[in-house]
Amino acid sequence: MSGKRQLRILVPVKRVVDYQIKPRVNKALTGIETNGIKFSINPFDDIAVEEAIRIKEKNKNLVESTHAVSIGPTKAQDILRNCLAKGIDTCSLIDSMDKENIEPLAIAKILKVIVEKRGFNLVLMGKQAIDDDCNNTGQMLAGLLNWPQATNAAKVEFLDNGRVQVTREIDDGEEVIEAPLPMVITTDLRLNTPRYVGLPKLMKAKKKPIEKLDIIKDFPGINIEPQLNTISIEEPKTKPPGVKLNSVDELIEKLKEAKVI
Amino acid sequence: ASTLAFIESSKDGSVSRSSLSLLAAAQKLSNPITAVITGSQAGKTAQALKSSFSCNSLEKLIIFEDSKLDTCLPEELTPLLVKLLKGNDYSHFVVSNSSVGKNVLPRVGALLDIQPVCDVTVIKAPKTFVRPIYAGNIISTIECPAEKKILSIRTSSFAPIPEGSTDSVAIEKGTDIPPCDLDVTWVKTIVTKSERPELTSALNVVTGGRALKDKDTFDKLLSPLADVLHAAIGATRASVDNGLCDNSLQIGQTGKVIAPNLYIAVGVSGAVQHLAGMKDSKVIVAINNDPDAPIFNVADYGLQGDLYKIVPELTEKLRN
């Protein structure tokens, strides 16, 4: 591995309702209930954080810096502290100033500004956020920057010839692609297993500064008003409870009645 | 108003079931449809579509028969699709939510400054769409007031267009593919080979969970049952992570989303993330020894007991 290349890694992270919580529609039917609900880092972003740290640990002379950024409410600083505790060098919070429903396209535009201003050459981020399930931002950012993209990464390797080889999960198996830096990589489940971070490290990270930016003042010219309107949200209709059967014969009879066999 | 539909090139020139579902969804937009097909098999695919399937709204097929588009790299496809969308006044652009569609659509959207509506499961009106969020735990209805709307379609939610023919459709050869200025190379695709029906379009699916312990047990127990039902085999994230089977079989929030006629869950506990991928199946059967397994809450028919006895018995009785 040549020591000349200097990787400057940006890891965008999102604060979402914890994946173990079953979301409910709020009483006003305007959104989901967030009162008293646990929030966490989007699990796919956590994998991206882990990958950035592993790349740094494995290739000491390759990585110049790792930076995490979150666009969200003030409380998103909790997930950023976690990133610092795990080993990300620096981070910034772009306060969304109570603006809701900031769409992936607007997020991608803000990230583009950050990337260009600060000279990042690798963006590692989750393939999708588990709240809106859009699976958009990485591809959009790559498009806006006119960079190569490698989505759904299951393996990332830095080759001696300066190229990055990514194994991607696709519908019928895996695909391997190669591109030089700069590029955007989005992470899938099997890329790695994120580490846990202990209390001592977390306490230490509390002393580290978090840069604070304002989505309106610091990013003039980027329209963050949504293009799409949510008309309604609802919980899916639940099926009537099923029948518990006592034997295979009964099951076969039922399947015949339902005309599926 | 008119719709542009992106039909993925197939390696053998056949039309994939998901493309047929994509066209069915496009018809619900009530516009004349132009379909664009790319890759060295585009011509053959276009002929197959025209001669074997019936799609009344389909007016034109534009084919770009160029082998450099065979790998469907988003860096190659995006300039072409952006050019088509900029040069014509299509009101809608639709792709399927396959790995290719999901990869390319947001990139196209960003360059057109349009926020796409992703993973559409219902088309209520030409500007009103339903899409699941929070892994299908919440259903949202979205209105898109913009003139140009770009959508990815969850094809498992739309029945394919019927067999027949669409003789009136014109096939036009596309020219001038804009060059890709990025140095991206496709190295290889490792396709998981299977003699079974493709998971996302199979009528019957048998899925194994972590309770199946190891790869050998997984194969020995599920293969015969899948054989008699002509079913595809699926898996949970836990069984993939534990090495019981290949990850292309994973069903769920982060895997494939399917809606077969018959879904048999064997030793599947029923984590929310898994349910997100299969709960729209028409008939769900759960076989599990844990009476409290959440899978029983979504199952139409539950059999509690020893799956090592139940599955072979079921297989044997279905065979006869």
B227 close to A (CB below 8 A): no
Interface of B with A in 54-93 (CB under 8 A): 73-75, 78
Alpha carbons B267 and A20: distance in angstroms, whole number? 21
Let me know whether B224 and B281 are in one domain.
yes
Average pLDDT across chain B, whole number: 94
Which of B82, B133, B195 is best to mutate for the A interface (most A CBs within 10 A)? B133
What is the pLDDT at residue B254? Answer: 77
**Closest Cα in chain A to B185:** A178
What is the pLDDT at residue B248? Answer: 87
B273-311 pLDDT, tens digit per residue, is 899 899 989 999 999 999 999 999 999 999 999 999 999
Q: Look at residue B198 and tell me if it is in a domain.
A: no
Alpha carbons A33 and B295: distance in angstroms, whole number? 25
Give the H or E element holding residue A248: helix A248-257
Question: From the list B75, B104, B314, which residue is nearest A251 (CB)?
Answer: B314
* CA-based nearest distance A61→chain B, Å: 25
Let me know whether B12 and B134 are in one domain.
yes
Q: Look at residue B146 and tell me if it is in a domain.
A: yes
* CA-based nearest distance A225→chain B, Å: 11
Q: For the residues A151-157, what does the mean pLDDT come to?
A: 97
- Give chain A positions within 8 Å (CB) of B290: none
Number of compact structural domains in chain B? 2
HEC-encoded secondary structure of chain A? CCCCCCEEEEEEECEEECCCCCCCECCCCCCECCCCCCEEECHHHHHHHHHHHHHHHHCCCCEEEEEEEEEECHHHHHHHHHHHHHCCCEEEEEECCCCCCCCHHHHHHHHHHHHHHHCCCEEEEECCCCCCCCCCHHHHHHHHHCCCEEEEEEEEEECCCCEEEEEEEECCEEEEEEEECCEEEEECHHHCCCCCCCHHHHHHHCCCCCEEEECCCCCCCCCCCCCCEEEEEECCCCCCCCEEECCHHHHHHHHHHCCCC
Let me know whether B217 and B75 are in one domain.
no
Alpha-helical (H) ranges within B56-162 are: 74-87, 99-112
HEC-encoded secondary structure of A97-138? CCCCCCCHHHHHHHHHHHHHHHCCCEEEEECCCCCCCCCCHH
Quote the percentage of chain A above a pLDDT of 70. Answer: 98
Could you tell me which residues come within 8 angstroms of residue B121 by beta carbon, excluding any fewer than 6 positions away?
B130, B131, B132, B154, B157
Interface of A with B in 80-139 (CB under 8 A): 103-105, 108, 130-139
Task: Tell me whether residues A230 and B113 touch, CB distance under 8 A.
Answer: no
Task: Count Cα neighbours of A252 within 13 Å in the Cβ-side half-sphere.
Answer: 14
Task: Tell me whether residues A105 and B114 touch, CB distance under 8 A.
Answer: yes
Q: For the residues A173-177, what does the mean pLDDT come to?
A: 95
pLDDT at residue A172 greater than cutoff 90 = no
What is the pLDDT at residue B247? Answer: 85
Query: Can you say whether the dihedral through the CA atoms of B214, B217, B220, B221 is positive or negative?
Result: negative
Q: Are B215 and B259 in contact (CB under 8 A)?
A: no
What is the pLDDT at residue A2? Answer: 46
Question: From the list A143, A147, A242, which residue is nearest B302 (CB)?
Answer: A242
Query: Can you say whether the dihedral through the CA atoms of B289, A23, A108, B144 is positive or negative?
Result: positive
Let me know whether B55 and B8 are in one domain.
yes
Q: Look at residue B73 and tell me if it is in a domain.
A: yes
| Strand bridging mode A90-95 / A211-214 | parallel
Let me know whether B19 and B69 are in one domain.
yes
Euclidean distance between the first and final Cα of chain A, in Å? 58
What is the pLDDT at residue A4? Answer: 59
- Give chain A positions within 8 Å (CB) of B308: none
Q: Look at residue B238 and tell me if it is in a domain.
A: yes
Residue A175 pLDDT grade (very low, low, confident, very high; cuts 50, 70, 90): very high
Query: Can you say whether the dihedral through the CA atoms of A154, A158, A159, A163 is positive or negative?
Result: positive
Quote the percentage of chain B above a pLDDT of 90. Answer: 87
**Domain span including residue B148:** 3-173
**Closest Cα in chain A to B248:** A173
A162 close to B (CB below 8 A): no
Interface of A with B in 23-52 (CB under 8 A): 23, 25, 32
Q: For the residues B180-208, what does the mean pLDDT come to?
A: 91
Question: From the list B135, B198, B261, which residue is nearest A260 (CB)?
Answer: B261
Q: Which one is predicted more confidently, B215 or A5?
A: B215
Residue B198 pLDDT grade (very low, low, confident, very high; cuts 50, 70, 90): confident
Q: Look at residue B197 and tell me if it is in a domain.
A: no
Cis amide linkage into residue A182, ω under 30° from 0: yes
pLDDT at residue B246 greater than cutoff 60 = yes
pLDDT at residue A21 greater than cutoff 50 = yes
Let me know whether B166 and B244 are in one domain.
no
Interface of B with A in 135-154 (CB under 8 A): 135-146
pLDDT at residue A93 greater than cutoff 70 = yes
Among B208, B181, B107, CA closest to B150: B107
pLDDT at residue B40 greater than cutoff 60 = yes
Q: Look at residue B269 and tell me if it is in a domain.
A: yes
Residue A192 pLDDT grade (very low, low, confident, very high; cuts 50, 70, 90): very high
Let me know whether B17 and B149 are in one domain.
yes
Q: Which two tokens stand for residue A148?
A: 């190569």
Let me know whether B97 and B210 are in one domain.
no
| Strand bridging mode A229-234 / B58-64 | unpaired
Task: Tell me whether residues A251 and B303 touch, CB distance under 8 A.
Answer: yes
Q: For the residues A18-45, what does the mean pLDDT come to?
A: 93
Q: Per CATH, the architecture of A7-232 is what?
A: 3-Layer(aba) Sandwich (3.40)
Alpha carbons A177 and B73: distance in angstroms, whole number? 9
What's the CATH code of the domain at B111? 3.40.50.620
What is the pLDDT at residue A12? Answer: 98
Q: Where are the domains of chain A?
A: 7-232
What is the pLDDT at residue A230? Answer: 95
What's the CATH code of the domain at B312? 3.40.50.1220
Q: For the residues A125-134, what does the mean pLDDT come to?
A: 96
Q: How many CB pairs under 8 A join A and B?
A: 228
Average pLDDT across chain A, whole number: 94
Residue A5 pLDDT grade (very low, low, confident, very high; cuts 50, 70, 90): low
B99 close to A (CB below 8 A): yes
pLDDT at residue B192 greater than cutoff 50 = yes
* CA-based nearest distance B224→chain A, Å: 16
Alpha carbons A208 and A35: distance in angstroms, whole number? 29
Alpha carbons A168 and B135: distance in angstroms, whole number? 22
pLDDT at residue A224 greater than cutoff 70 = yes
Let me know whether B41 and B169 are in one domain.
yes
Alpha carbons A41 and A72: distance in angstroms, whole number? 12
What is the pLDDT at residue A1? Answer: 44
The residue behind tokens 């999708």 is: A128
Alpha carbons B205 and B169: distance in angstroms, whole number? 35
